[in-house]
Amino acid sequence: MTFEEAKTYLLERAQALRVQLEVFGSHQRELSLKAHEGRLEEVKQAQRGGIGLRLVENGRVGYAYTEDLTPPSLDWALEEARQNAALQSETGGFLPKGHALGHQDTLGEGLSAPLEAKQRAALEFEANLRKDPRVGQVMFAGYTEREVAVHLGSTEGASGTYRAGLAGLMGSMVMREGTSLKQGWGADWAGEFHVLDPGRTAHTLLERTGRLLGARPLKTGRYTAYLEPRAFAHLLLAFWSLWSGKAVLEGKSRLAGKLGTRIASPAVTLVDDPTFPQGLVRRPFDAEGTPARRTVLVEAGVLRNYLTNSEAALRLGVANTGHAARDYRGTLGVAPTNLVVEPGAGVTFETGVIVSEVMGVHAGANPISGEFSLQALGLWVEDGEIRHPVENFAISGNFLELLERVVAVGAELEWTFMGVAVGTPVVAVADLSFAGA
Amino acid sequence: MLQPELVSKLLTTAHQYGADFAEVYVERWRRRHLRVLNREVKEALSGLEYGAGVRLFFGTEVVYAYTNDLSEANLLEVTETLARLKGEKGRVDARGAGGLDFRKQTATGLHAPKMPLESQDKRYRLERLLEAEAAARVAPEIKRVETRLLEWDQEVLVANSEGAWVEDRRVRTRLVVVAIAEDERGAQTGSAGPGLSAGLELFERFPPAEVGRRAGMQALTNLRARPAPAGTMPVVIGNAFGGVIFHEALGHLLETTSVAKKASVLSDKLGEPVASPVVTYIDDGTLAHGWGSSEYDDEGHPTERTVLIENGVLKSYMVDRLGSLKTGYRPTGSGRRQDYTFAPTSRMRNTFIAPGDTPKEALFEGIEFGLYAADMGGGQVRPGSGEYNFAVKEGYIIRKGRIEEPVRGAMLVGKGPETIQRIVAVSDDLANAPGMCGSLSGSIPVEVGQPHLLVSELVVGGQA
């Protein structure tokens, strides 16, 4: 069956069973081209899709999904979802009232370049990386594109589809100078293939990694941290769930009960905007069909909103910000799309550490307590001048305390994409703990 | 899942385009996930994943495609499109037009579940989670408890142009308990998460009440803990999940995926001393019911026990088919992938440091000031530079040879090759624990393990 046929089949079955049902389908296409020593080493092209069900019966919610769209598998999923709903002791679950959302295309001709052009981009990127004599090995370098089509339908009237996509250059290589070794990685993403520039991406990656060669240990202490966009983006990606209405409801966010209060330095304004014109990712509506719009999370240091879906909004008694998120293989949650730290007046380097990247975020950051302790790389800066790179150290603290200590925000946005797109300038934080030699 | 005639047709098509090797991977995967928070079912999810991956080698160049439209027409089209990306039609299959004569191999059931997905009803599962939750509430400070049950039942078929036909079934079950302790100063977490290649009999090996209690006690310990100190000091690393440090610092550096490109700091070092002589490091895919075990790897090669390092000397890498082709090293049954959406690469299975003969207590003797990393979170490594990090989930200060007050928020950082030289003593209490490992071919189940051991000095990232 096609998605549309499966959707119709499931909604008809749900009506016969007198249950509420939401059908969320997505179909993803992927092309990836990896170059190695001037040849295409790995080519991957793929398609994957499936249907996720959210079923409500007697106010209880159950989930199921299937990638096999034959009637027996669709029936199996429907039955599993009913059994799963029956397990819930909690009632009050519901599906939001929906409406027709039409078909929207945010991708257009963005990925329509011929395959040969994409192959050339991958090869050119890798060749540019190898031009630097300090590069020992290129671990991987290549081009990737992803395109997704989302289909939504519900017994409550929601119906719509959209199409979105991204193209990117990604690479990682090892650089050597004397006995010093650094493995760098980098990625540039864009909504359109022709915006990518293999020369520029390679140049940035080489520059970012090369400047870390010859790093010295850092003495343990408390210093001003100048968090480069990619480092700050990784922290935000680790801690965005502090703003999740679902986490707030479940007692897993330290921002619970703090709407309207100051939680960060006045220099900090944080927004999520799925409609941001320069944003990497665009979506016209969320996973429940709520139209997308800009949401201010922190305004000059004051907590203004959580990210919500219909359930979190109702239970918290706040407006629905339209941040319902799900993959067909998962359950309904909330998630940001384009997180943006609004640019500030700029950062002047004085004395401290420019943190170029943080590592180990999945293990060293605890979004419930807000605490983090992360391996980092960077540069020692003194009296406004970069003196030498530093290594083998960790930064630690509490993310909310870090936000309070933000002393300056840079003037230019830089984008990082890891499922969620984050646009942030350099962020300067006073008095951060650095553990080193 | 697919008929041999169709698989044969796909592989032959690839040959006709000049592919040196072709492989078809098919899986049908049922999953269940149940999440309970404070006695309420928050999420109950069931799923069916169904898809195929086709991989072709042209020399050491690889093309891969995956799809979950498994109709004959689509699979043939996918294979043709893929083959056309690299080759030109015309080569005659040496085995003629009669199709491949597959050598069928079926798993013997070494890791077969006693209580598979179909056994017991969902209520039974919920009751076990509620038992774990009740036991996690060890003190009034435990304000929230979240329990999860994950069940996987994956059927796999791998067939290739060399005539291999392997069917394997992997059933895995994992229970995860996270306890949150809270007081006026803030919130801290504790967790425990046993998992096996087995069915619901997991609950017999790991009674839910014990798992819950461990998570609760850890949260309470962390609530009472002070921030960890910062600096370089001796560290005793606890057994079981403590092994994650060597998974990061050592294991990833021994995978041919980076070794073949000479992008690992341990490339070209077979036969050389690379670790302290007290270190023997083993990767064993055959451990009965091990979380990272399977009878065959995802390339259809039987898994095995591979001694990687023996008394400090490098004995073997972890080798997949492509890695073997590039390096000439013997394949070790280490080709693994998350699912059909990934081509396999060389990966760890159940990887652990073999027991030594130092009594655990003796490791602490003579440490004036250090850290006891009793339980670990996850970590990460850059194989090209060997730089790694990992988080301590439960830690204590060692003062004058004694384990004293708890500390939290410690992150250990270093360079793998240096750290493994600094292991000065290994105790005799080997234990393993499950985890998920993310790398080029996705996120896969692995066990890590070790006895207690002493590292003479490590950078501890805490509060300066």
The domain spans of chain A are 3-205, 215-436
Task: Give the model confidence (pLDDT) of B22-33 as tens digits.
Answer: 999 999 999 999
pLDDT band at B91 (very low <50, low <70, confident <90, very high): low
Is-contact B413 B461, C-beta < 8 A?
yes
Bridge-based pairing of strands A20-36 and A135-154 is antiparallel
* Interface mutation target, options A29, A34, A79, A87, chain B, most CBs of B under 10 Å: A87
Cα nearest neighbour of A73 on chain B: B48
Q: Which residue from A245, A427, A242 is spatially nearest to A341, judged by alpha carbons?
A: A427
Residues from chain A that touch B409, judged by Cβ atoms under 8 A, are 371-373, 396
Q: Which amino acid type is present at position B64?
A: Y
- For residue A218, report the phi and psi dihedrals to the nearest 5 degrees: -105, 135
The yes-or-no verdict on residue B395 having pLDDT over 90 is yes
Q: What is the pLDDT of residue B389?
A: 84
**DSSP three-state, residue A242:** helix
Q: In B, which residues are within 8 Å of A213 by CB distance?
A: none
- Cβ-count burial of A345 within 10 angstroms (0-12 exposed, 13-18 middle, 19+ buried)? exposed
Provide the sign of the torsion angle of the four alpha carbons A187, A188, A192, A197, taken in this order: negative
Identify the pLDDT of residue A277: 81
Tell me the pLDDT band of B99, cut-offs 50, 70 and 90.
low
With bands split at pLDDT 50, 70 and 90, how would you rate the model's confidence at B384? confident
Share of chain B above pLDDT 90, in %: 82
Q: What is the pLDDT of residues B320-338, one digit of tens each?
A: 999 999 999 999 999 999 9
Per-residue pLDDT of A203-252, as tens digits, reads: 999 999 999 999 999 999 999 999 999 999 999 999 999 999 999 999 99
**pLDDT, position A361:** 86
Give the pLDDT score at A392: 85
**pLDDT, mean of residues A363-370:** 88
Residue B90 has pLDDT above 80, yes or no: no
Instruction: Collect all residues of chain A within an 8 Å Cβ-Cβ radius of residue B386.
Output: 181
B416: pLDDT confidence band, cut at 50, 70 and 90?
Answer: confident
pLDDT at B84: 86
Q: Nearest CA to CA, how far is B181 from chain A (Å)?
A: 10
User: What integer best gives the mean pLDDT of chain B?
Assistant: 93
Domains of chain B: 4-34+42-105 (no CATH), 122-155+168-226 (3.30.2290.10), 231-461 (no CATH)
**pLDDT exceeds 80 at position B150:** yes
pLDDT of amino acid A189: 96
Measure in Å the smallest separation between the Cα of B57 and chain A Cα atoms: 9
Residue A286, exposed/middle/buried by CB under 10 A (0-12, 13-18, 19+)? buried
Measured at the alpha carbon of residue B322, what is the angle toward residues B316 and B324, in degrees to the nearest 5? 35
Locate A187 and state its tokens. 């990625």
Q: Say what the pLDDT of residue B33 is.
A: 97
Measured distance CA(B79)–CA(B82) in Å, rounded? 5
Interface test with A, best of B411, B437, B460 (most A CBs within 10 A): B411
Interface mutation vs chain A, best among B385, B408, B415, most A CBs within 10 Å: B385
User: Given this model, what pLDDT does residue B95 score?
Assistant: 55
Q: According to the model, what pLDDT value does residue A363 have?
A: 79
Kind and range of the H or E element at A159?
strand A159-177
Cβ A77–B46 below 8 Å, yes or no?
yes
Place of tokens 């996930």: B33
Q: Which residues of A touch B81 (CB under 8 A)?
A: 45
Contact A51, A3 (CB under 8 A): yes
Domain at A3-205, CATH class: alpha beta
What are A55-75's pLDDT values in tens digits? 999 999 999 999 999 999 999
Say if the Cβ atoms of B40 and A90 lie within 8 Å: yes
Q: Looking at the predicted structure, is the pLDDT value of residue B12 above 60? A: yes
CB contact under 8 A, A48 and B68: yes
The H or E element containing residue A253 is: none
Residues 6+ apart with CB under 8 A from B312: B273, B274, B275, B276, B277, B278, B279
- The pLDDT value given to residue B98: 53
Chain B hits for A394, Cβ within 8 Å:
230, 389, 411, 413, 459, 461-462
pLDDT exceeds 90 at position B240: yes
At B94, the pLDDT band (50, 70, 90 cuts) reads low
User: pTM, whole model, 2 decimals?
Assistant: 0.91
- The mean per-residue pLDDT over the stretch A324-349 comes to 96
Per-chain mean pLDDT for chain A? 95
Mean pLDDT for B356-379 is 94
Sequence-distant (≥ 6) Cβ neighbours of residue B204 within 8 angstroms: none
Q: Identify which of A89, A368, A436 has the shortest CB distance to residue B459.
A: A436
Residue A303 and residue A297 in contact, taking contact as beta carbons nearer than 8 Å = yes
